[in-house]
Chains A and B, each alone.
Chain A
Amino acid sequence: MSNLVRITVNQKEIEAQSGANLLQTLLDNGIETPHFCYHEALGPDGNCRMCMVEIEGQKRPQIACDTFVEDNMVISTKSDNIMAVKRSILELELINHPVDCPICDQAGECKLQEYYMEVGLYDSRLETPKVTHKKHIDLGSNVMLDQERCVLCERCARFTTSYTKTNELGIVGRGDHAKISTMPGKKLNNPYAMNVVDICPVGALTSKDFRFKQRVWFMTATPSICQSCAKGCNIYIDHNTLKYGTPVIHRYRPRKNLAVNGHFICDEGRLSFKEQNEDDFRGTYSRNLNINFKKAISKMQKLLKSESNHTLIVLSPSLLNEQIASVIQFSKIIGANVFCPLERYTDENFGDDILRSNDRASNRWTINALKIETDYNKFIDSLDSARLVINFNHKLLLNPERELSNKLTNKINVHFSEVECENRQDSEISFAYAPFSYVSGSTVNENGHLQQLNAALVPTEKKPDLLELIHIVSEKKVSHTNEQIWQNEMRDLEVFKNINFSKIPLGGLAFGESNV
């Protein structure tokens, strides 16, 4: 039951939900309110005291995270008084902080730095020694702990208690000798462990994988969607192009989407950025020999003509919507049946009741919505009468087991793959194409949520855009840009008819929602 009331913040009236958390309300309204221990996903803790605000009628400043919106509240976050309070709290946070920014990965995305610029800007008056602790403790799961930098906000401990329920972390000791620790001899060990690196507001918890690799202000953050499973967690792709070098993705970070993944992503998805950086492609092959791209194309087109009506297409359920639409159009032009067997994309051990899905296909929903054939036996039946098999990155055909492999030996195999094709020696032609971080497009997650991916890197000659490849192979009969695909090929598909691709919001569109 919504109960909107009016409150005044810094002399401006805003509408707010009665009883809502005041700090979250301020943050939602873009009012800068420094805080450490509060986190939207973990709730308030009330220990950092940084979020103090002035409330008319209250003798003392109050912490906003433990205050609830009431009608006619009058709040100041900017008065001289409250600024002095915030400055003094920040000063105390920094008293025992090593201030080793020059060697700290958090620099550039550190709350202590940020708040110092916002409410600090004072000269240190510390003349006595700081408390010291252990630095660079390997907690396991790619997380490094620096106990000195910790502001004891307890977010990480609360994460392992309430989110993953694995209880590895906690504050031990007392007073100013308190520090974050695990049980003696134990490590941080759960599938979401690296999220603590993001929720830590300072450089106490950092990614071992990212350690000393790149200063954050040199990176660009591109919003995209993780493709490791059907959950479709929202991510930022942090990347840059090294001077004189190649574009590199340095890490993924979670992107907040309350409708999909909340504030977190799993470690496996987080580390899957490495696959995007693989640069081992040497272009197009025929059997084990490198061949020139133009030759490969002409060879392909000859095959299509000679094996027309005896061609079978298999596509990966992790292709983007636009890529699927393009393949389907292509299949219609060459008169081939399209299959997407379920095999190889289900991992019973992967899914959990937090974020991870057993379905490792990122675009399963579209496969089902478009009624693409998924039955393995039907695929085998069709395979028997086919002569040319074109595989668009389906794992089953990239690495078939013996029985299927035997059947495929008598066929002409053509592969379009993101990674080095494993059975290159058996494929007549293998084309490499750029993985998802190189292109924009969209996928639909297992709950029918349509989400947009943005290109972080740029396709190259060796790793061209798949749409472009199909466009060329089909003698330009299939569209080659997202815009055209949505205007043409996807307009024919019932499920996507009412979507305006250029206006998909950053948070995605729920199934059935139209934005035309």
Chain B
Amino acid sequence: MIVKIVSKKFDIPNSHTLEVAKEHGAYSALDTALLKSPEDIINIITESGLRGKGGGGAPAGAKWSLMPKKSDKPHYLIVNGDESEPGTFKDRQILQYDPHLLIEGMIISAYAMNAHEAYIYIRGEYKFFIDRFQEAVDEAYAANILGDNSTLSHKVNITIHRGAGAYICGEKTALIESLEGKRGHPRLKPKRPEPEYYFGNPATVNNVETIATVPFIVENGASAYRQYGTEKSPGTMLFALSGQINNPGVYEMTYGSSLIEFINEIGGGVKNGKKLKAVIPGGASTPVLKADENLACVMLDYESMRSAGSALGTGGAIIMDEDTDMVEALKNLLEFYHHESCGQCTPCREGSGWVDNIVGAILDGVAQEKDLDTLLDVAKTMNGKTICVFAPAVAGVIEGFLKNFREEFENYISEGRFVKSPVEAVAEASCQTSLE
């Protein structure tokens, strides 16, 4: 399960310094990379099946192919370090423990898309990680790896852009808006596949971890990455555990690992010997999974999660034990979305407030059965009619909670309080269905 590709150096003391990083292979992929053509790099990445690790899981190679091969406009690589999805805290590990790996990845990726300027947008709260990454960038400039004095055949500049507290800036078009000095409002999506645009210039936005994976793939080849994971979800990802778990933290594992094994073996099982009740598998925006016999068959890859009615998202699993009040849990999440909606389009702006209030009314014991219908109906309106996927995520969250834990909501309505529902033990269960 555990395979260390991007987290290889995490446990080495001072791994963030150029000296130590170099001792352990930092920048070794650059020579290979810069001898290939940009098209070759894109092909390798496409063949490797590398998928975006910011939550969407879109193939990175296809994204890079949208950049024009040649143009009279400057190209930009924009790295998304706005990590704000609840349950997610993996990109910060790279910034803290192996910033030079990310720098290396940024240079190669920029080369592949004919860009000389790269920005990394890091969330405002991550001051420590911004400073740490800046130190590494300064070291790289001093060592003539980055900048106009770079000894490399492809010169790259890296600039850190600090965010200021807005989850929606993790949405790639909102991120670019913010980078352009505006409010983080997602843009209307084009009719046909196009690159992104920064001040009208072609740009590509990729997650920190995605870019950090690039050096390995370019140095070792696409098949080296494909040997791990599954056919459609090759490679590894930094998965995370948080909530009521004994060993919270970030663990790099191959895709296709068993969720239940992840929780029990690596995570050490649910805290205080309690039973597992529910898992939100990939960050708050992924529908909650009930801990029933089906959970044993859920694997940590995009396809399995989809069949299970959820999504892999950012791979940040939130563990809930048998005593968790699921209505309060949903309220907690809806408050998050209510605070973070950018407010640009009607269904999200008004809907996210309304659903938060409805669940609040349920918790206060003043709701009625019809309010559950209203809740689901508003969720439906928030799905598929907005500028970005924030509102559909909220809809999915609501539907997931209601599908799996409806009785708890109904108990609040009829009895005005939390009524604990029985939970089956899946600790020892293993997947009974045969895999295709």
Cross-chain contact A49 with B386 (CB below 8 angstroms): yes
In the complex, the chain A residue whose C-beta lies closest to that of B387 is A46
Is there a chain A Cβ closer than 8 Å to B350's Cβ? yes
> In the complex, which residues of chain A have a beta carbon less than 8 angstroms from the beta carbon of B345?
46-49
Is there a chain B Cβ closer than 8 Å to A66's Cβ? yes
Cross-chain contact A96 with B350 (CB below 8 angstroms): yes
Cross-chain contact A174 with B343 (CB below 8 angstroms): yes
Cross-chain contact A176 with B387 (CB below 8 angstroms): no
> In the complex, which residues of chain A have a beta carbon less than 8 angstroms from the beta carbon of B367?
127
> In the complex, which residues of chain A have a beta carbon less than 8 angstroms from the beta carbon of B47?
none
Please tell me which one of the listed residues B191, B338, B385 contacts residue A85 in the complex, with CB atoms under 8 A apart. Answer: B385
Please tell me which one of the listed residues A66, A88, A131, A175 contacts residue B342 in the complex, with CB atoms under 8 A apart. Answer: A175
| Chain A nearest CB, measured from B194 CB (Å) | 14
Please tell me which one of the listed residues B340, B341, B347, B380 contacts residue A49 in the complex, with CB atoms under 8 A apart. Answer: B347
Which parts of B348-365 form the interface with A (CB within 8 Å)? 349-354, 357-358, 360-361
Cross-chain contact B343 with A173 (CB below 8 angstroms): yes
Cross-chain contact B346 with A93 (CB below 8 angstroms): yes
Q: Given A47-B344, A129-B357, do A93 and B385 touch, yes or no (CB 8 Å)?
A: no
Cross-chain contact B343 with A176 (CB below 8 angstroms): yes
> In the complex, which residues of chain B have a beta carbon less than 8 angstroms from the beta carbon of A49?
345-347, 385-386
Cross-chain contact A152 with B385 (CB below 8 angstroms): no
> In the complex, which residues of chain A have a beta carbon less than 8 angstroms from the beta carbon of B166?
174
Is there a chain B Cβ closer than 8 Å to A178's Cβ? yes
Is there a chain A Cβ closer than 8 Å to B73's Cβ? no
> In the complex, which residues of chain A have a beta carbon less than 8 angstroms from the beta carbon of B191?
68
In the complex, the chain A residue whose C-beta lies closest to that of B342 is A174
- Cα-based distance from A125 to B354 in the complex (angstroms): 11
| Chain B nearest CB, measured from A59 CB (Å) | 8
Cross-chain contact B384 with A60 (CB below 8 angstroms): yes
In the complex, the chain B residue whose C-beta lies closest to that of A94 is B350
> In the complex, which residues of chain A have a beta carbon less than 8 angstroms from the beta carbon of B150?
none
In the complex, the chain B residue whose C-beta lies closest to that of A44 is B188
| Chain B nearest CB, measured from A21 CB (Å) | 13
Q: Given A46-B188, A46-B387, do A176 and B346 touch, yes or no (CB 8 Å)?
A: no
Please tell me which one of the listed residues B339, B352, B360 contacts residue A128 in the complex, with CB atoms under 8 A apart. Answer: B360
Is there a chain A Cβ closer than 8 Å to B157's Cβ? no
> In the complex, which residues of chain B have a beta carbon less than 8 angstroms from the beta carbon of A60?
384-385
Bitwise, A47-63 to B at CB < 8 A (1) or not (0) is 11110100000001100
Bitwise, B12-30 to A at CB < 8 A (1) or not (0) is 0000000000000000000
Main secondary structure of the interface of A (DSSP, over half): loop
- Cα-based distance from A408 to B24 in the complex (angstroms): 103
> In the complex, which residues of chain A have a beta carbon less than 8 angstroms from the beta carbon of B371?
127
Is there a chain A Cβ closer than 8 Å to B370's Cβ? yes
Is there a chain B Cβ closer than 8 Å to A221's Cβ? no
| Chain A nearest CB, measured from B84 CB (Å) | 14
- Cα-based distance from A409 to B339 in the complex (angstroms): 77
> In the complex, which residues of chain B have a beta carbon less than 8 angstroms from the beta carbon of A304?
none
| Chain A nearest CB, measured from B261 CB (Å) | 37
Is there a chain A Cβ closer than 8 Å to B294's Cβ? no
In the complex, the chain B residue whose C-beta lies closest to that of A93 is B346
> In the complex, which residues of chain A have a beta carbon less than 8 angstroms from the beta carbon of B342?
174-175
Cross-chain contact B361 with A128 (CB below 8 angstroms): yes
In the complex, the chain A residue whose C-beta lies closest to that of B339 is A175
- Cα-based distance from A173 to B349 in the complex (angstroms): 12
Is there a chain A Cβ closer than 8 Å to B151's Cβ? no
Cross-chain contact A125 with B346 (CB below 8 angstroms): no
Q: Given A60-B385, A128-B358, A129-B357, do A175 and B343 touch, yes or no (CB 8 Å)?
A: yes
Bitwise, B190-213 to A at CB < 8 A (1) or not (0) is 010000000000000000000000
Is there a chain B Cβ closer than 8 Å to A74's Cβ? no
Is there a chain A Cβ closer than 8 Å to B381's Cβ? yes
- Cα-based distance from A154 to B357 in the complex (angstroms): 26
Please tell me which one of the listed residues B349, B360, B370 contacts residue A178 in the complex, with CB atoms under 8 A apart. Answer: B349
Please tell me which one of the listed residues B183, B188, B354, B357 contacts residue A92 in the complex, with CB atoms under 8 A apart. Answer: B354
Is there a chain A Cβ closer than 8 Å to B37's Cβ? no
- Cα-based distance from A404 to B164 in the complex (angstroms): 69
In the complex, the chain A residue whose C-beta lies closest to that of B373 is A125
> In the complex, which residues of chain A have a beta carbon less than 8 angstroms from the beta carbon of B332?
none
Cross-chain contact B381 with A92 (CB below 8 angstroms): yes
Cross-chain contact A176 with B344 (CB below 8 angstroms): no
In the complex, the chain A residue whose C-beta lies closest to that of B348 is A175
| Chain A nearest CB, measured from B85 CB (Å) | 18
Bitwise, A82-111 to B at CB < 8 A (1) or not (0) is 000100110111011000000000000000
Bitwise, B362-404 to A at CB < 8 A (1) or not (0) is 0000010011001001101100111100000000000000000
Bitwise, B102-115 to A at CB < 8 A (1) or not (0) is 00000000000000
Which parts of A431-458 form the interface with B (CB within 8 Å)? none
- Cα-based distance from A48 to B374 in the complex (angstroms): 21
Cross-chain contact B347 with A127 (CB below 8 angstroms): no
Please tell me which one of the listed residues B357, B370, B381 contacts residue A125 in the complex, with CB atoms under 8 A apart. Answer: B370
- Cα-based distance from A502 to B379 in the complex (angstroms): 58
In the complex, the chain A residue whose C-beta lies closest to that of B338 is A175
- Cα-based distance from A126 to B387 in the complex (angstroms): 25
- Cα-based distance from A159 to B353 in the complex (angstroms): 28
In the complex, the chain A residue whose C-beta lies closest to that of B184 is A174
A-B contact pairs, 24 of them (CB 8 A): A46-B188, A46-B345, A48-B345, A48-B346, A49-B346, A49-B347, A49-B385, A60-B385, A88-B377, A88-B381, A89-B347, A89-B381, A91-B381, A92-B378, A127-B367, A129-B357, A174-B183, A174-B342, A174-B343, A175-B349, A176-B349, A176-B352, A178-B343, A178-B349
Interface residues of A (CB under 8 A from B): 46-50, 52, 60-61, 66, 68, 85, 88-89, 91-93, 95-96, 125-129, 131, 151-152, 171, 173-178
